[in-house]
Amino acid sequence: MKKIFTSILVIAAAAIAFSACTKTNTPAQDNDSTMLTFRAVANSTKAAFGERDGLSFPAYWTSNDGAVAMSLNCATKVEGTLSITEGTDNKQATISASIDSDGTGEYIFYAMSPASVVNVMNATYKRWRYTIPTTQTSGLLSPDESAMVLYGRTEAVSEFPSSTDKIDISFKHATAYIDFKVEGLTLEDGDAISNYTITGSEYLAGDSFTYANDYSSSHPEGETFGNSGAAKTVTVTPAKAGADSAWVAILPIASGTSLTFTVNTTNGGTYAKTISTPADLASGGVAILTLDFSNVSSKTYTYTKVTSEPSDWTGKYLIVDETAGVAFNAGLETGTVDAGANSTSVTISNNTITLTSNTFYVEVNPSTVATESNCYSVYAKGGYYVGLATAKGTGMSRATSEKATNTDVTFAYSESGVTLQCNGSTFYYRSGKDRFRYFPSQNDGDRLPALYKLSE
């Protein structure tokens, strides 16, 4: 098997040095408030990576960074304003923040960038709580800037600084990074890569913590991890449409973590490759991966015909007219699904339908608003409920939330098909119109559909 994990490159300058500059004519905001201005002087700060140089990537501030969260002694965060220093090729920037003295006699300043991801600084545990985006857009040479998270702190001082004091603050990366490239993937004509989904056996993003200072021997400064309920999946859109490579920012992960990279295509195809990380990927580390998809086929989805009355109709289904060999295209948008023909061709073999894309099913769940028992909601892949607003009417309402009666559907199996009823009408396939919808009565050419359930 080809070794996928080519190498793990640790950014040599992950610890980012800051020092203060003197800001003149900056009066205190009140007796206990001082406007402090910090200047990034190192050439490996934060926002975006440049082209790889040996075993490291140069990093630069960009205008998208905008703001940095600051905290004194782990108290409530305040927002600092970041601006790039002209003439420094984006390698230097200043951060200005108005911070109140707490009068404790020992002062440590903490920071996290970008401020947009920060939820809170917890004074008890001395840690930042923030959210790593689960939906990212890769840059050409680096991850989504909004997902590149850094934290920093100063040394303790016994006197609260003035606006003319010099303050050093060191930053480090909280997030880790993967630069991956897909090779050998064969797509049909007209198909292209839409985005990537990375799924891990451990938390990758979402609700996260980083200790800003040592809390205990078992929770040292810099420890970074996902909160209970954090996300194990991140979706990344490449910088260029259809690109076979992308960057992603994630939580640090341990050796042996399973990562599944799924390529999602414009025609609804999904191609997946799973690897196991052979080494730790620490905060500030960069893993460069080449993923061999040459023998990977698109994932298939198998639907099996319902041939008896189940005790529970919950599940994902295709609504099928077997005579015409078509299924209700529940992936159509709300404005077009009931405007005319709304079917898609399917191939039935031995009471099964096998698909390479999964874009036109309905999801059936017990109704949460029904006034009667044994009612279900039918939610279309296109983003609406397949219901009927008018009692004993014709058509299909497309509500985006459950509504009593209007979205309550009952199911009944028979050898001639499955009866779906909503608001006094029945869901038929009208062959002359190639159309699935609710009708108050059955006319010639109207047929009850069969239901095929997804095997999961």
Asked if 382 and 333 touch (Cβ cutoff 8 Å), the reply is yes
Under DSSP, is residue 117 helix (H, G, I), strand (E, B) or coil? helix
Residues 6+ apart with CB under 8 A from 87: none
pLDDT in tens, 57-89: 776 767 666 789 999 999 999 998 877 767 666
- What is the per-residue pLDDT for 137? 97
Helices (H), 147-212: none
Give residue limits of the domains in the chain. Answer: 5-292, 301-454
Asked if 77 and 121 touch (Cβ cutoff 8 Å), the reply is yes
Residue 56 falls in which region: left (phi positive, over 0), alpha (psi -120 to 50) or beta: beta
- What is the per-residue pLDDT for 87? 67
Of 244, 286, 14, the C-alpha closest to 142 is 286
- What is the per-residue pLDDT for 3? 22
Give every residue of the chain whose pLDDT is below 50, as ranges: 1-31, 40-45
Residue 392 falls in which region: left (phi positive, over 0), alpha (psi -120 to 50) or beta: left
CATH topology of domain 301-454: Trefoil (Acidic Fibroblast Growth Factor, subunit A) (2.80.10)
**In angstroms, rounded to a whole number, what is the distance separating the alpha carbons of residues 277 and 287?**
10
pLDDT in tens, 382-430: 999 999 999 999 999 999 999 989 999 999 999 999 999 999 999 999 9
* DSSP, residue by residue, 353-409: EEESB--S-EEEEE-SS-SSSS-EEEEETTTEE-B-SSTT-SB-B--SS--TTTS-B
- What is the per-residue pLDDT for 2? 22
| Type of residue numbered 295 | N
- What is the per-residue pLDDT for 51? 73
Q: H or E stretch including 6?
A: strand 5-10
